[in-house]
Amino acid sequence: MNKVATAILASTLILTACGKNEDKQETNNKKETAKVDLTKETNAYKKYTTEQLDQFLTGTESFVSAVKSGDVEKAKEIYPKVRMYYERSEPVAESFGELDPKIDARLADMKEENKEDEWSGYHKIEKSLWEDNSTTDMGPVADQLLKDTKELRAKVDTVEVTPKLMLQGSIDLLNEVSSSKITGEEEIYSHTDLYDFKANIEGAEKIFEILKEKVASKDKKLAETTQERFDNVNKLLAKYETKDGGYVDYTELSKKETKVLSEAVDKLGESLSQMAIITE
């Protein structure tokens, strides 16, 4: 074979190989895209969090009205229930970093940052309601809370919900329970921590519910174990429900009981941390 023919043959082989590699790469890319296409799931989660924050805004309006009218008992009644909407949707709510602390910061958080004078939101009013049994001077705080809540609701329409936000969000919700809420430091004045606890679990469970089919297709055992662990945590929480559908004062729980809850949440967190297999 002469040099010209050899060169032509070599070129043909190279081009053919490149073409095959490109076809293979394109096929792999298509498979990868198909494998991680969670558009349906992310849309479902955005719809859920939007509905939760709609309810949060409505509830905040009622709460602010009670505070401004000086109705301490009504404000106390509304407080833990309306906050559950926020706690369920925290992965989205917290994505607006400047609003989350204005709405939900604890006094201890503000002191750590030397911003005590800037403290606002639900926990500032909580302190006044339970520690002082009063709404005195809380009118401006309530007005600002409502303003911030309205801004949060408006911004939710612009948020991009991604699989990463959902997967990390489910873990973060449980981390909040096992790190701050289990110690009782979240609701330090009202001791309504179990409402927050339950709402965080419900928010994480909603994410799992939306992704469950995809998880099961990858690892059926993981899906089953995760559901069992959700059921276990919910069963433990049900022990502390009151007749009116609320929860007992968190200070009523013994150290042994909080330890059992903490361990159950940690096990659940282990399962949720493995849900990322759906993007592999």
Query: What is the reported pTM?
Result: 0.85
Q: What pLDDT was estimated at residue 16?
A: 45
- Over residues 122-162, the pLDDT tens digits come to 999 999 999 999 999 999 999 999 999 999 999 999 999 99
| pLDDT band, very low/low/confident/very high, at 35 (cuts 50, 70, 90) | low
Q: DSSP per residue over the chain, as a string?
A: --HHHHHHHHHHHHHHHHHHHHHHHHHHHHHHHHHT--HHHHHHHHHHHHHHHHHHHHHHHHHHHHHHTT-HHHHHHHHHHHHHHHHHTHHHHTTSTTTHHHHH--HHHHHHTT-GGG--SHHHHHHHHHHSS--TT-HHHHHHHHHHHHHHHHHHTT----HHHHHHHHHHHHHHHHHTGGGT-TTTTT--HHHHHHHHHHHHHHHHHHHHHHHHHH-HHHHHHHHHHHHHHHHHHHTTB-TTS-B--GGGS-HHHHHHHHHHHHHHHHHHTTGGGGG-
- Over residues 153-206, the pLDDT tens digits come to 999 999 999 999 999 999 999 988 887 788 888 999 999 999 999 999 999 999
Query: Could you tell me the domains of the chain?
Result: 50-160 (1.20.1420.20), 162-280 (1.20.1420.20)
pLDDT surpasses 50 at 15: no
